[in-house]
Amino acid sequence: MQRILVIEDDEANMYLNRFILEKHGFQVIVAQDGLSGVKLALQEQPDLVIMDVQLPDINGFDATRKIRQDKKGRDLKIIALTSYAMAGDREKALNAGCTGYMEKSIKPELFIKELEKYLND
């Protein structure tokens, strides 16, 4: 069973992500802020990290940089997920070290197809 770490502070978004992922057979690990997400990513070594960009302590770009600074985090697949999509955000995410970038709101069937591209890479 593939494991996905979801770093998301909004309870409704976390519920939706978790519901969709578990329905499709993934084991879900959760973190509600950037620093605990960094810690879990390095400890758990999930198959994929879904990183919200707007987090209460550090933003998703900074959390991604912290993960990438650690030897254990260099090869993790990290997808930035944001509802505040602005021009240049995709480039910011990729420059911070994200593997990919997705915009909210998510459509379940497209969400899973997009994630599987990274999981099967």
> Residue holding tokens 């021009």?
87
Overall fold of domain 3-119: Rossmann fold (3.40.50)
DSSP structure class, residue 37:
H
The model's pLDDT over 32-50, given as tens digits with 9 standing for 90+, comes to 999 999 999 999 999 999 9
Q: What is the pLDDT of residue 88?
A: 74
Q: Which pLDDT band, with edges at 50, 70 and 90, does 82 fall under?
A: confident
Start-to-end CA span in the chain (Å):
16
pLDDT at 85 over 80: no
Helix 60-69 / helix 89-96 crossing angle, nearest 10 deg: 20
> Residue holding tokens 């329905």?
23
Whole-structure pTM value: 0.94
Least confident of 2-6, 23-27, 62-66, 114-118: 114-118
Q: What is the pLDDT of residue 50?
A: 97
